[in-house]
Structure 1
């Protein structure tokens, strides 16, 4: 079974292609964002989530951007020291912190967004028909939504 050709195992072939595309495109998008507006892709991802959701707990932010607890803490510290977000004590739970995008963070996010979106369109959108992209997105959402694969839901207190 391990010696089978990927073409005989469509799920394995799709998985391999997904990993290869991710490995190729993420560094390109990161370099493009750094050159165009001085933001690393990881910073952009954090600002994107905070702009969309508003203030959130560090643990919830870590789940959204798929980073370890240690890495999200370092990333938040970097963004905070650059004035792109703020950290406050959570009024509902004094043991945790809430992270929020600052006005400067929102401005830098909005400056970077066209470069990010254009980079995705050029690298992914130009390679497939709209229907193919819609099918790809639907399939990936279906996989993500599978009970045993879905990211943990934030706990309500």
Structure 2
């Protein structure tokens, strides 16, 4: 059970990230999930719900409700998929793209304050370790 300290540090690191990141997103009037979707759709062509789910950290059950709320706010739009009428293409509206252009650089700059404390070598090492950890599951 020598993995328990690793598990604890992983959980604590994620909680620390959330405590640092969430207030910045909340000030912008968004939830983490909404930000994740807007950041994924920003400057991108429309994509299917399946593609969006694969590119975000949002579960399918949560995704549907969040998409509906963002659509009601005029931030995103849905169109029929010309290649498959059973699915829809999802993308940002003009207002949604403007929101992306405002909030994405702001939040990246906020995160840079924390990640900037690490060297390139340290970030590369951490990324490699996290990839290895993910691969075992």
* TM-score strictly above 0.5: yes
Aligned residues: 137
Q: 2:98 aligns with which of 104, 107, 112?
A: 107
Tell me the SS of whatever aligns to 2:85: strand
Structure 1 segment 8-157 matched on structure 2, within 5 A: 9=2, 12-35=4-27, 37-51=28-42, 53-126=44-117, 128-144=118-134, 146=135, 149=137
Q: CA deviation at 1:58?
A: 0.8
- In structure 2, the partner of 1:5 is none
Question: Is there any run of 5+ residues in structure 2 with no aligned partner, and where?
Answer: none
- Deviation by residue 1:89-133 (Cα, 9 ceiling, x = unmatched): 11111111110111211111111123311222223332x222101
